[in-house]
Amino acid sequence: MVRDAALEAVFKPVRPPTTFEETVERLGTAIRLGLLAPGSRLPAERDLAEELRISRSTLRQALTTLVQSGHLVSVRGRTGGTFVAERPPLAEGSLPAEDGLSATAAGVLEYRLAIELGAVVLAAERAPSEQLDRLDEMVARMSEAADFDAYRRADIRFHIGIAEAAGSPRLVKAMTDVQGQMSRLIALIPHPEQVLARSNAQHKRLVGYLRRNNVPGSVRLMRAHVEGTEHILVGLLPGA
């Protein structure tokens, strides 16, 4: 594969802690922009993992996500490999200009980051155990969800539950508002199982931090969680 400077940037090393999500973003964006042309073959898994400086297991998860979303196609056999789909979803067109979603998505994500981090700080300091038990229930519902709608309903309740655990009615109102705005963005992209499973694993870890009143750990994890969503949106959202 002949590479120019733009394509070289796609394959530069990925930085933690959001290596999976950033890999999805990198490859999804490259596909959407045409840097990785339809039908083109990605480098071998071992070579690509070395270039991105990520583990092969993380790379496999990212590739599986993009296969599930229809951006990539995996072909087995001696002439097989991972190829860009001939007609990847969301490759053409963009969000309606009059809605302004493409221009305001970054603002929604910044708003979400501020609300989520504020809520998680207070929840780590003061959340009663019964409210944390409800968060665990939402984690279980997401794990058992039969479809994305069921998953998303529990996801919304989880994040609003963090604001409730913070003991701030204003934060609950703000969290409800921002989750509504996020739902509008999330509805525009595919929802691969790998992404949902990783997101819910972070939910579970977060409840553990909250139970231990670990404010720094809760903040770091929530920031990685929100930034991970941002990477996925940028990679799969048209016009992002």
Q: What is the pLDDT of residues 58-113, one digit of tens each?
A: 999 999 999 988 899 999 877 789 999 988 875 444 444 333 345 578 889 999 99
What's the pLDDT at 238?
A: 64
Q: Which of 26-30, 192-196, 219-223, 227-231 has the lowest mean pLDDT?
A: 26-30
Which residue spans within the chain are E strands per DSSP?
72-75, 81-84
Q: Pull the structure tokens for residue 112.
A: 């979400």
Beta-carbon count within 10 A of 227 CB: 16
What is the set of domains in the chain, with CATH numbers?
A: 5-84 (1.10.10.10), 101-236 (1.20.120.530)
Query: Is this prediction's pTM over 0.85?
Result: no
